Amino acid sequence: MFSHVKDLQFEAKPDAPDAAFARRLQEVLGGKWGEMTVANQYLFQGWNCRLPGKYKDLLLDVGTEEVGHVEMIVTMITRLLDNAPLSLSEAIADNPGGGAVYAGSNPAHFIHSGAGALPADSNGVPWNGAFITASGNLLADFQLNVTAEAQGRLQVSRLFNMTDDPGVKQMLRFLLARDTMHQNMWLAAIEQLREDGLEDMPVPDAFPDSGEFTDEFGYTYLGFSSGTDAAQGRWASGPAPDGKGEFRYDDNPRANAPEPVLPPGDPRLYGTNPAAS
């Protein structure tokens, strides 16, 4: 059961309207790494979670918080669109430079939503449910969640440098702080999974042993680039993070199977077959 508290988690009020920045802010609302993505991702991971208790609560708590972030950004976008000019003549009537702001705005903000936010990215591409992942494996999902928070924080940081509006910057500072918490939180959750003996690297840990394939291929770095610079990396020598093997570097990867030769295809499919030549 969900309930809606009318107060915002943090204020979402710009000092002045800015339709062009409203368009840019759409990215962290409805883009691939936006708040709509992480909110739905964490909620679906939580709803699908078969472990009652702390892990399920973690996912549903943070997913619910992210719904609040969606509302904050929608509110900010809507306020940035207040009193926006609807024509070029309006834009330049009191401000000769207003034409640039008018040109940078998103027409869909006015045509589709009547000066409101859209479930779309900064290019107007609609948000897509394919952006979310809820695999049922908590370690796999938590590692992706770290990435999602890192990408989201990166985009918010870039937007912070694209505006001079103090009110917008304050909201972005808050979101950056929460992204800091969430990255650390998911990393801590990964550690907790291992401490609880529920999951381990690599995912899935319980997959049947691949025997000689693991011995030969499981910890070998294949150097396909010219030179051996990659051999200096942590991934090319020493113990692997899973504690189960030693990295090694192969600067001359070899083929393990001959060139494939395919038989002629079914003639009813009208492919170009060697048998016809």
| Whole-number Å distance between alpha carbons of 76 and 72 | 6
**Which DSSP string do the residues of 94-160 spell out, in sequence order?**
S-TTHHHHHHHS-THHHHTSSS---SB-TT-PBP-GGG----S-HHHHHHHHHHHHHHHHHHHHHHH
Residue given tokens 């440098």 in the structure block? 161
Whether the Cβ atoms of residue 23 and residue 104 lie closer than 8 Å to each other: yes
Q: Is 114 left (phi over 0), alpha (psi -120 to 50) or beta?
A: left
Integer distance in angstroms from the first to the last C-alpha of the chain? Answer: 67
- Cβ-based burial of 104 (10 A; exposed 0-12, middle 13-18, buried ≥19): middle
Distance, in Å, from the CA atom of 105 to the CA atom of 113, rounded to the nearest integer, reads 14
109 annotated among ligand-binding-site residues: no
Rg of the chain on CA atoms, in Å: 25
Q: Is 61 annotated as a binding residue?
A: yes
Backbone angles phi and psi of 178, in degrees to 5: -70, -35
The residue behind tokens 């976008």 is 77
Whose tokens are 């915002």? That residue is: 8
105 is in an annotated binding site: no
Nearest to 264 by CA among 276, 252, 256, 255: 276
Residue 66 known to bind ligand: yes
- Flag whether 182 is marked binding: yes
**Which residues are known binding-site members for Mn(2+)?**
35, 66, 69, 149, 182
**Which residues are known binding-site members for Ca(2+)?**
57, 61, 225, 227
**Which residues are known binding-site members?**
35, 57, 61, 66, 69, 149, 182, 225, 227
